[in-house]
A and B are shown apart, each in its own frame.
Chain A
C-alpha cells in the first residue's frame, strides 16, 4: 500500500502484469474513490460552468459527459486571489446529470485526487452570489471502475452475463449496455441511488460507478464474486491508461502546458469562447511548434517522465523532445512512452533515441493509441 495524494492505495493486489492482462482479457476492478467528486446545481449552473471550463457545456445534453481542463488561479491557502494568472489546475470529466422543471441544472465534475483541494478552492471562489451551489461529495461517496471486454460479455443465450449482472436488474443492465461512450445514467443498488458512467481510464469498455460510501464495500464484494473479475491497483491503472494513450496530470499536462502542443487541443473549445486564461492559450496556439507522439522501444526497458528524446543527424545528437510518461507495456512486451517532440520529427516511423539513465535507447514514433480495443 502506498500514500497516493493522502489516500492509502494498493500498487497491486497480485502483480501489475497479471492485473493489466486480466483487464485486457476479462474484467478489472478498480477502487478509484480517491478521485474528487463535485456536484454543481442551480438555475445558473450551466452558464457558470460555460464561463469557467475550457470545454463548452451549453451543448452537453442530459446523460452526456466530456473531458475538460480546469484553468484558474492556483492557491496553497484558503484565500484565492482572483487577480492572479490562471494556470491549468487539473483535467476533469464534466457530466450533465439533469435539467429540472424549475429551470435548474445539475452537473457532476470528477477531478484528480491530488488537485481536488485547489480546484474546490478556486471554484468556490468563483461562484456567483446566487444560482449555483457546489458540493464536494468525495468523502461521502466512493467510485469503482469496472473495465474489460467481458463487462458487457454475454452468455450462450446472448444474455448479459458480466459482473454488472450481479448488481443491476436485466432492465437497468440493458440501459447501461445501451449507453454510448461517455454516457451517464442514474440507477439504484441496494435501494440507494448510484451514478453509472460508460467511461474509464483503461482503453477497455466498461463503467465507472459512483455510490454512497456506506454501500461501497458491498458493491465491491458483489462485483468480485463474478469469476472473471480481478481487483487491480495503481500499477496496472497506469500501464493500462498509458497503452490507451490517456493523459495523466503531472505528466502529459501541468500548470503551464500548452494544450495544443500536448495533444489536448480537443479539450479546449477556444473559438468564440472565453474562460480563465483563454487569451494566453489562444496566443500559444500559433507559436507552438511541438506535438505529442507515441514512442515504442525495441526492448523491454522503459523510459520515464523527463527523459530526453534525441535526434541523430550526421553523427550528432540533439535534443528534440521529452518523455512525459513511460513504462513497460504488458500487452506489447516492449517499453512505450508518450513524449512531446518537435513537429519535424513527429511522423510515425521516425527513428529517434531516448536517453535513459545515461544510455541511448533506440525508439520509433508510432501513431496513437498503442492499444485499441476490438470494436
Chain B
C-alpha cells in the first residue's frame, strides 16, 4: 500500500494574478505604514526639541550677539513660522541628511553617527548570533521537554534575563571576568597600545583586523567584544528562547507530529525535521525584533563598557546638552528600529502560507 501525499495542485490556491496583487497591496501598505510611522517619530523628536530650554538661536549666534543678529537668525531658522511649517522645514532637513551640527564635536551630526555606527553594529551582530545560537535550541528543548527540569531551568534563566538590569550585569561581569579572573579584556574596543594599528575599512574591528591579517589585534578585539556582546546576547536569548518555546509547543501539539512519530521517526528527528521548519517564519520575525531592540539595549551597555558606538555617543551628547546629537541619534536608532520592526511584519505576512490567501 502506498501512501500518497496530497499534491500541491489539488489544494485550493488563488490565481497567480490575484496573489501578485495581494503581495503588491501588502508592500504598498507596508510603505505607507513606514512613512506614517516615520512622520510620527520625527513629530515626536521635533516636539522634544521644542521642549528643551536651550535656545536654538543662541546656539547659532552665540550669547554675545546683537539684537539684530539674533532676530536675523531667529527668522533664518524659521522660528517665526507656525509650528506646522517649522516641522515641515525640520522634516525636509532630515530627509536631505541634515541633522544639524554637534556642539560637542563641531561635526555634522550625520557624519558623527555614521562614524560610530559600525561599533554598535558589530556589538549587536555578535550579540544576536549568541542569542540565536543559544536561544533557539534552548527554546526547542524547553518545548520538547515541557514541564520537566530542562524546561524549568531554561525558564528560570530566561526570567533572570528579563529581570536583571543590563548596566549592572555589565559591571558585575567586568568585576568578575576582568577584575578577578582576567579571562576577558576590559572596557573599550581595543587595548590602548593597539590604537590606530588597524586600517579602518569597514569600521567593524574584527573584520578590519582579519582583512589586515593581524590576528593579534583580532584576538584582542575579540576579548574586548565578547563580554558586552555576551551580556547583550543574553537579553535577546531570554526573549528568543521564550518565543521559540511557545511556537514549538503549538507545533508539537499538532496531528502531523503524532503521524511522524507513528511512521517511526525518532522523537528528536520529529522535533527538528518536522516541527522546527514550521516555526521558522515567526521565528525570523522574533529574531528581527530582538535585533532591533539590541540597538536600543546597546545604549546602556556601551556606557558601561566605554564602547564607542551610537549609545555612548548619545549619552555623551546628553551630558553635554548637545540636543542636535541626541535627537539625531534618536531619529537614526528610531528609524532603523521602525524599519526592522515593519520589515519583520511584512516578511511574516508575505511568507506565512496561512496569511497568504487571505
Partners in one complex: no
